[in-house]
Amino acid sequence: MRILGIDPALSVTGYGIIDVRNNKTSLVEAGVVVTSPKQDISSRLNKIHRAITELISETRPGVMVLEKLYAHYRHPTTAHILGQARGVICLAAAEAGIALVEYPATRVKKAIVGKGLAGKYQVQKMVAVTLGINKLPKYTDVTDALALAIAHFHIERIDKITKLN
């Protein structure tokens, strides 16, 4: 199974693709889509959409995983901008006909670290250990995206075991 995790944002969207074979994960590709605040919003969203569409076309994941949108009431503009980036990413998944799954951040952290309130550095380190990455990526958006993909694998595996019992 090939899993694409995406950490959406307007400035820096992180992505990570893993393969799962025989209950083992391996890194396929990871990186970022960066847009310039000097560009208008439509150009930035178009760049994200095109990049994710191309990524899906080249790597052929079976599922895309996003973090569920959490918006703090004190920052409604941030939620609005994030929602726009998520929208074009969800559109890319729909156009490609791949499944889209969303998890709350606490569930991802619990699946990766074992604690729903784990810190960002703990998540980064577990992603690195799980995938055999020696040097942490420059952008935490990349490890966040990989964490989403790895978490999906763990959550799916646990759900299958639970259904068998």
Q: Is 67 a catalytic residue?
A: yes
The token pair at 126 is 């577990």
Report the C-alpha gap between 15 and 38 in whole angstroms. Answer: 23
> Which residue in this structure is represented by tokens 């799962």?
20
Query: Is the pLDDT score of 157 beyond 90?
Result: no
**Number of C-beta neighbours around residue 33 at 10 A:** 24
pLDDT grade for 145, boundaries at 50, 70 and 90? very high
User: Domains (ranges, CATH) in the chain?
Assistant: 2-164 (3.30.420.10)
Place of tokens 């569930």: 107
Q: How far apart are CA 90 and CA 77, in angstroms?
A: 20
The C-alpha atoms of residue 158 and residue 151 are separated, in whole angstroms, by 10
Tokens 């952008």 found at: 139
Scored b (16 or more CB within 10 A) or e, 62-89 reads ebbbbbeeeeeeeeeeeeebbebbbebb
Can you give the pLDDT at residue 160? Answer: 64
- pLDDT tens for each residue of 78-105: 778 888 999 999 999 999 999 999 999 8
Catalytic residue, chosen from 95, 102, 141, 159, is 141
Told to judge if 29 belongs to the known catalytic residues of this protein, a careful annotator would answer no
Q: Is 7 a catalytic residue?
A: yes
Catalytic residue (choose from 7, 58, 102, 156): 7
Which among 29, 40, 58, 67 is annotated as catalytic?
67
